[in-house]
């Protein structure tokens, strides 16, 4: 968003707008396929837009005549934020470059690292089959130094950055273990976040817990199912509690695992068009499925759950889901910030839009916690999971 001396102000702003639109198209979407092929305005349309001309005149007047220096980039960021706020849509927001990077990192499903999880500077998890495990790092190790950086309370939050920014893809880490300082040289590689957890219960009941719909969650789900099926799984519980969504494509990919070819997964409607999305794969499953939901199951979680309910026959246990029936599209600006705006609403296969309504469980079960007279938890039984096991045993 810098002025170019080779162009006049109007040309610069129009070029910026077109660049932002193009960046958005290449960046893709968060929870929609972008089925509307007409995106953005042409140069001629922008140049002839009287509203835009008025905006540019005000912009020019302020930058030239305001009595103090103006940060043009920050002012335009605030202008974009104001446009999105004007729409009055809770899901239409402006994210600065740091917020954008955090969102993309959260949904990437992988990161550059060594395979540890730390609480402060204490290692609380060493992931299996990672460089950290190979090097000999252990749970309970206290990280005291990374490369040339001594770790203390002031920079403990920088541990992931110190590791990922190490030279030559190798991190030199010093830890305190049993009152002794130990040095490790750990290779840095691409680590996949664990977004799917699975288990096997009695009576051949498989269980998978999906945390978020990242870019890699489809492959993780397929691997989990393959492992469960290899030991005799005949029924499946899918836990979507506290899963607030992610990429629509990932939810669609998981639905494709279960549904038969030709079954409807969801529909999208915007102000100009509508489109239906069907399973196009040969893969499908036939075992009973129970899905656990709660009030934080939202967006892509609800899309997957609704598709398996209406087109597969899954049963819901838990509490009513959040009720987010809208999908958002994004575009990224040159400075790394992002505009995220609602572009359509989605419909479950039975034709309903659940926005503000949610998905109602077939068996409503509120999670209960037993406390003593001082408010301390003395029993925290997963009553929703127990009910799901009871229900699926009866199917």
Tokens in use for 347?
Answer: 């419909």
pLDDT, residue 48, reads 82
Helix or strand or coil: residue 14?
A: helix
Q: Residue written as tokens 């103006």?
A: 70
The CA-atom distances, in angstroms, between 342 and each of 223, 252, 271, 333 are: 33, 19, 11, 17
pLDDT, residue 32, reads 34
| Nearest to 389, CA basis, from 222, 221, 235 | 235
**Angstrom distance (rounded) from CA 302 to CA 325:** 8
- The bridge status of strand 110-113 relative to strand 93-95 is unpaired
**Angstrom distance (rounded) from CA 40 to CA 336:** 19
> Phi and psi for 64 in degrees, rounded to 5?
-90, -30
Helix or strand or coil: residue 157?
A: helix
**Angstrom distance (rounded) from CA 4 to CA 301:** 45
**pTM greater than the 0.85 cutoff:** no
| Nearest to 142, CA basis, from 161, 119, 158 | 119
| pLDDT beneath 50: ranges in the chain | 1-39
Q: Give, to the nearest 10 degrees, the angle between helix 9-27 and helix 50-65.
A: 120
pLDDT, residue 81, reads 84
Segment 289-335, tens digit of pLDDT: 999 999 999 999 999 999 999 999 999 999 999 999 998 887 787 78
Tokens in use for 97?
Answer: 């470059």
pLDDT, residue 286, reads 97
Instruction: List 189's β-bridge partners, or say none.
Output: 113
Check if the beta carbon of residue 191 is closer than 8 Å to that of residue 216: no
In what helix (H) or strand (E) does residue 210 lie, and over which residues does it extend? strand 205-210
Half-sphere exposure of 69 (CA within 13 A, CB side): 2
Enumerate domains of the chain plus CATH numbers.
1-109+193-395 (3.90.226.10), 110-192 (2.30.42.10)
């Amino acid at each position: 968003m810098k002025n170019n001396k080779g162009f006049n102000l109007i040309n610069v702003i129009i070029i910026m707008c077109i660049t932002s639109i193009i960046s958005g198209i290449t960046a893709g979407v968060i929870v929609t396929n972008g089925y509307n092929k007409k995106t953005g305005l042409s140069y001629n349309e922008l140049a002839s837009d009287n509203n835009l001309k008025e905006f540019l005149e005000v912009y020019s007047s302020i930058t030239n005549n305001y009595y103090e220096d103006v940060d043009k980039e920050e002012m335009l960021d605030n202008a974009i934020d104001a446009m999105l706020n004007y729409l009055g849509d809770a899901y239409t927001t402006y994210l600065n470059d740091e917020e954008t990077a955090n969102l993309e990192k959260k949904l990437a499903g992988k990161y550059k690292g060594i395979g540890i999880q730390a609480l402060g500077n204490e290692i609380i998890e060493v992931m299996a089959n990672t460089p950290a495990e190979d090097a000999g790092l252990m749970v309970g190790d206290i990280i005291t130094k990374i490369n040339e950086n001594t770790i203390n309370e002031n920079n403990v939050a920088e541990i992931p950055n110190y590791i990922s920014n190490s030279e030559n893809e190798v991190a030199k880490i010093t830890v305190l273990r049993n009152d002794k300082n130990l040095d490790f040289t750990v290779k840095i590689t691409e680590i996949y976040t664990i977004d799917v957890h699975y288990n096997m219960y009695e009576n051949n009941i498989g269980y998978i817990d999906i945390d978020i719909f990242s870019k890699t969650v489809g492959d993780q789900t397929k691997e989990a199912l393959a492992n469960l099926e290899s030991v005799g799984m005949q029924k499946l519980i899918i836990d979507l509690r506290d899963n607030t969504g992610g990429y629509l494509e990932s939810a669609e990919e998981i639905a494709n695992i279960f549904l038969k070819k030709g079954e409807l997964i969801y529909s999208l409607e915007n102000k100009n068009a509508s489109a239906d999305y069907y399973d196009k794969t040969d893969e499908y499953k036939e075992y009973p499925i129970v899905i656990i939901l709660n009030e934080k199951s939202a967006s892509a979680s609800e899309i997957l759950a609704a598709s398996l309910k209406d087109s597969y026959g899954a049963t819901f246990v838990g509490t009513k889901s959040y009720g987010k029936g809208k999908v958002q599209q994004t575009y990224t600006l040159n400075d790394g910030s992002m505009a995220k705006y609602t572009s359509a609403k989605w419909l479950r296969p039975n034709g309903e839009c659940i926005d503000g309504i949610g998905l109602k469980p077939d068996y409503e079960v509120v999670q209960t916690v037993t406390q003593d007279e001082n408010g301390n938890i003395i029993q925290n039984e997963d009553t929703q999971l127990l009910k799901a096991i009871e229900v699926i045993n009866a199917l």
